[in-house]
Chain A
Amino acid sequence: MRVGIIGVGCSKFGRRDDVTIQELSYEAVKEALDDAGLSRNDVDISVVGSVNTRGYELMPAVPVNEYCGFAGKGPIRVEAACATGAAAVYTAYTSIASKMADVAIAIGVEKMTEVDTATSLAIGGRGGNYLWEFHQYGTTFPAYYAMHASAHMAKYGTTEEQLAKVAVKAHRNAAKNPKAHFRKEISVEDVLNSRYITYPLKLYDCSPISDGSSAAILASEEKIRELGIDDVVWIESVGYASDTSNMTRRESFVGLKATVLAREMAYRRAGIEGPIKEFDIATVHDCFTIAEIMAYEDLGFCRKGEGGRLIESGETDLGGKIPVNTFGGLKAKGHPLAATGVAMVYEIVKQLRGEARELQVDLKNYRGLLHNVGGTGHFAYVMVLRR
């Protein structure tokens, strides 16, 4: 049973003091329904992906579901830290593949700016194993990735300049994306001169604390035919994996094993052998600049240790062999946790349909790659989408 994506929506990311979490959700849901040409009554089940440990609405699924007009249909609430969006899409996918629904909507939504930064860091720092990490040592979410950066730099000679280039690329793309949190281009010097958040990561190495929502409507092939929709982006394969909650139980800090395992599953199922040649676009999980470097390696774009040189080569820029994070990535578009994975679907669908305007990639294979990580490799999803 093939499952296709027939509608996508995404809100403006950033500090959204103008909306509650449910009002924010509806921005993406409305766009997705309009995009699919469906009414809310056509949807069988809703999946609400939201971490929302920073919001005042601790159990947001029902308020979100009601506001979006789906009361009576679901919701299934999904949480997989920063991979919540992909987990929501996966849940919608399986509900259709198992024939429990014909049409499902995956909503990813996050309000992160309702608390102050110190509180936000204390919550993100709990994204491992609280008692053995945050409680004793004050790990923050940036700190987990910074530790990986220190290991990668020591082992492979990756430099802070190479990390900076990931941020420069992200901002360059986000400047052309009206929905991005940051719309300003930056230079390598700007990144290198910014203050340390957690050595070796500096302010501009880090994704911002953002609010945002995104939505994707999925349907069975049968239903898609019945609706007479002929422009569909299919979910060709999905890979998923996880890793230990404790950083001290990891075998290495120069990559994410969960990404490698999820990639192997997704590539095997879709028959992918040479990702650079076979994908026209990739969205990779770049919550911090080092995360994009490790993703290049763990997804097989280059050998382990060569990620720094790949960003320098320009081959992941728009116009390169494999454009990565064309809408600005988590780094500059923003990273409202649960909205991120569904926004990756939004980006790939827009690109594969040729609707990405100034940010449009060249289409040869009509295939896109999605990579969404939760925590520091605690969860990983890899999806292959094809038009």
Chain B
Amino acid sequence: MFIESRELLMKHKIPVVKTERYWKGLEEGKVYKTVCKNCGEEYYPPIAECLCGGEVEWVEIEGEGVVEAFTTVHTIPAGFEWYGKPYTIAIARFGNVRVMGWAENVKVGDRLRLKTGKDKTGVWKVYFEVV
């Protein structure tokens, strides 16, 4: 015998004040990392404060990256049913940083370029294009 629990829905408001440049950048087709002017550390995902205390600058990630890992998700989690088919997630290296994005028909070692786009749910993200 079961008793059904009361429904609990959670939808959060996530503050992106410190990384606003990144999210705005996606809408302009740009993907930013941050680079510390003091120690040279590069951050992706970008963070607005370096652990060394130095000031960071926002630098666009450009050029070609190389796929280091990928997977195609067939069993879809709640929140992604809208996509309606399997999707491929890849991690590619662009110089000193690694970037996650959606891709199609990739394998490890492939060379990629970055672009950005808005999905059906209004979320902006990185899409990779095989070179």
Q: Which residues of A contact B71 (CB under 8 A)?
A: 143, 146-147, 149-150, 198-201
The answer to whether A137 touches B5 (Cβ under 8 A) is: no
The answer to whether B72 touches A196 (Cβ under 8 A) is: yes
Give A245's nearest chain B residue, CB to CB.
Answer: B45
Q: Within the assembled complex, what's the spacing in Å between the Cα atoms of A46 and B49?
A: 40
Q: Within the assembled complex, what's the spacing in Å between the Cα atoms of A129 and B19?
A: 15
Q: Knowing A119-B78, A138-B76 touch, does A56 contact B5 (C-beta < 8 A)?
A: yes
Cβ of A268 < 8 Å from any Cβ of B?
A: no
The answer to whether B77 touches A136 (Cβ under 8 A) is: no
Cβ of B87 < 8 Å from any Cβ of A?
A: yes
How many positions in chain A have a CB within 8 Å of any CB in the partner chain?
Answer: 46
B60-94, CB < 8 A from A: 68-81, 83, 87, 89, 91
The answer to whether A147 touches B45 (Cβ under 8 A) is: no
Q: Knowing A147-B91, A248-B45 touch, does A199 contact B72 (C-beta < 8 A)?
A: yes
- For A195, give its contact among B74, B78, B98, B107 (CB under 8 Å): B74
The answer to whether B77 touches A122 (Cβ under 8 A) is: yes
The answer to whether B69 touches A148 (Cβ under 8 A) is: yes
Q: Within the assembled complex, what's the spacing in Å between the Cα atoms of A140 and B74?
A: 10
Cβ of A1 < 8 Å from any Cβ of B?
A: no
The answer to whether A117 touches B87 (Cβ under 8 A) is: no
The answer to whether B74 touches A147 (Cβ under 8 A) is: no
Q: Which residues of A contact B89 (CB under 8 A)?
A: 137-139, 143, 147
Q: Within the assembled complex, what's the spacing in Å between the Cα atoms of A116 and B107?
A: 32
Give A125's nearest chain B residue, CB to CB.
Answer: B77
The answer to whether B91 touches A138 (Cβ under 8 A) is: no
For the side of the interface on B, what is the size category? 35 or more
The answer to whether A136 touches B123 (Cβ under 8 A) is: yes
Q: Knowing A133-B100, A137-B102, A250-B98 touch, does A197 contact B78 (C-beta < 8 A)?
A: no
Give B71's nearest chain A residue, CB to CB.
Answer: A146
What per-residue 1/0 map shows which CB atoms of A253-284 lie under 8 Å from chain B?
A: 10000000000000000000000000000000
The answer to whether B70 touches A135 (Cβ under 8 A) is: no
The answer to whether B108 touches A118 (Cβ under 8 A) is: no
Q: Within the assembled complex, what's the spacing in Å between the Cα atoms of A125 and B71?
A: 14
The answer to whether B101 touches A137 (Cβ under 8 A) is: yes
Q: Which residues of B contact A201 (CB under 8 A)?
A: 71
- For A142, give its contact among B44, B75, B78, B79 (CB under 8 Å): B75
What per-residue 1/0 map shows which CB atoms of A87-117 lie under 8 Å from chain B?
A: 0000000000000000000000000000011
Q: Which residues of A contact B123 (CB under 8 A)?
A: 135-136
Give A142's nearest chain B residue, CB to CB.
Answer: B75
Q: Knowing A119-B78, A154-B109, A253-B68 touch, does A247 contact B73 (C-beta < 8 A)?
A: no
Cβ of A365 < 8 Å from any Cβ of B?
A: no
What per-residue 1/0 map shows which CB atoms of B88-129 lie under 8 Å from chain A?
A: 010100000111111000011100000000000001111000
Give B16's nearest chain A residue, CB to CB.
Answer: A131
What per-residue 1/0 map shows which CB atoms of A221-259 lie under 8 Å from chain B?
A: 000000000000000000000000011111011000000
Give A246's nearest chain B residue, CB to CB.
Answer: B45
Cβ of A151 < 8 Å from any Cβ of B?
A: yes
A325-339, CB < 8 A from B: none
Least CB distance from A378 to B in Å reads 16
Q: Which residues of B contact A146 (CB under 8 A)?
A: 71
Cβ of B14 < 8 Å from any Cβ of A?
A: yes
The answer to whether A117 touches B75 (Cβ under 8 A) is: yes
Q: Within the assembled complex, what's the spacing in Å between the Cα atoms of A146 and B72?
A: 8
Least CB distance from A249 to B in Å reads 7
**Among B69, B83, B107, which residue has the most Cβ atoms of chain A within 10 A?**
B69
The answer to whether B98 touches A249 (Cβ under 8 A) is: yes
The answer to whether A147 touches B77 (Cβ under 8 A) is: no
Q: Within the assembled complex, what's the spacing in Å between the Cα atoms of A249 and B96?
A: 10
The answer to whether A154 touches B45 (Cβ under 8 A) is: no
Least CB distance from B67 to A in Å reads 9
Q: Which residues of B contact A132 (CB under 8 A)?
A: 45, 100
Least CB distance from A111 to B in Å reads 12
Cβ of A356 < 8 Å from any Cβ of B?
A: no
The answer to whether B99 touches A248 (Cβ under 8 A) is: yes
Least CB distance from B40 to A in Å reads 16
Give A116's nearest chain B residue, CB to CB.
Answer: B78
Give A195's nearest chain B residue, CB to CB.
Answer: B74
The answer to whether B109 touches A121 (Cβ under 8 A) is: no
Apart from the given pairs A136-B125, A143-B89, A150-B69, 9 other A-B contacts in the complex at a CB distance below 8 Å? A117-B75, A125-B77, A136-B100, A136-B123, A146-B71, A147-B91, A150-B71, A248-B99, A253-B69
Which residue numbers of A lie inside 8 Å of B, CB to CB? 17, 56, 116-119, 121-122, 124-125, 129, 131-140, 142-143, 146-151, 153-155, 195-201, 246-250, 252-253
Nearest first, the 5 A-B pairs at minimum CB distance are: A154-B108, A146-B71, A121-B77, A147-B69, A122-B77
